[in-house]
Amino acid sequence: MNRVPVITVQNVMVRFRYRRSLFRKAMVEALRDVSFNLYQGDSLGIIGRNGAGKSTLLSLLGGIILPDSGRVINNDVRTSLLAMQVGFDPELSGRANALLSGMLLGFRYEDVKANLDKIIAFSELGEFIDKPVKTYSVGMRGRLGFSVALEMEPDVILIDEVLGVGDINFREKSMNVMKEKLLSDQTIVLVSHSGQIVKNFCNRVVWIEDGISRMEGNSEEVVDAYESYMA
């Protein structure tokens, strides 16, 4: 496997300022000092308890926000954050949403259009695909988002605890596709607080505690350390 990092995170710090009133501002440090490498073909797990800064880290990897200090070096890869129920325009049909999402992942209109049938087939939405997304159930929205991300294959897929999407059949199917992706060259970052999920899907894991990357290594090792720490 090629060991060139696609994204390097170096001593990253992120703090959010928020207004409490006209002149009073407060600050929250979401990440304090996080460093790790993401390699081509990796399936990297990010583990940590709620509020440890995992979701902020995903926004950083996606290039959505920039760190207040430290660096995130992206070696020209296209990332897509797969978080459920956001990003869709509820008034538009599933088909239009799939097309627009594909374009936002950086693919040409024609390419997305050519893949639309595959996306629709994978999502199992049937005739619902032409109905507005606001009529979808949570599970259906998740299926659509998941299908776009999997069929269009961005360089890096960032996943925020969505393995519980859809019903049992769809979950099983996406699990299988995910496992396939893991064996292939698809690069995935998966955020979770569950050691079990991360152990199943990831070859490497970074453990974030209190905004600091505590440990980075192969999944067995890190998850065991995390679980004994939490116990």
- Cα(59)–Cα(54) distance, integer angstroms: 9
Pick the piece of the chain touching other proteins (CB under 8 A) from 101-109, 120-128, 176-184, 208-216: 101-109
Q: Are 178 and 163 in contact (CB under 8 A)?
A: yes
Helix or strand holding residue 111 (H, E): helix 109-123
Interatomic CA distance for residues 83 and 230, integer angstroms: 26
- 54: closest CA among 25, 17, 79, 83? 83
Do residues 144 and 88 lie in contact, with contact meaning Cβ atoms separated by under 8 Å? yes
For other proteins, which is the closer residue by CB, 88 or 226? 88
Size of the site for other proteins (CB under 8 A): 33
- Quick one: 90 or 164, whose CB is closer to other proteins? 90
80 belongs to the binding site for other proteins (CB under 8 A): yes
Site for other proteins in 129-188 (CB under 8 A): 132, 153
Q: Give CA 184 to chain center in angstroms.
A: 18
- Choice from 51, 69, 106, 121 touching other proteins (CB under 8 A): 106
Of 107 and 128, CB closest to other proteins: 107
Site string for other proteins, 29-68 (x = CB under 8 A): ------------------------------x--xxxxx--
> Could you say whether residue 4 binds other proteins (CB under 8 A)?
no
Residues 6+ apart with CB under 8 A from 25: 17, 18, 19
Owner of token pair 């703090």: 15
Residue 128: CA count within 13 A, CB half-sphere: 15
Residue closer to other proteins (CB basis): 136 or 226: 136
Q: Which stretch binds other proteins (CB under 8 A): 75-83, 174-182, 184-192, 199-207?
A: 75-83
> Which residues contact other proteins (rule: CB under 8 A)?
16, 59, 62-66, 78-83, 86-89, 91-93, 96, 99-100, 103-109, 111, 132, 153
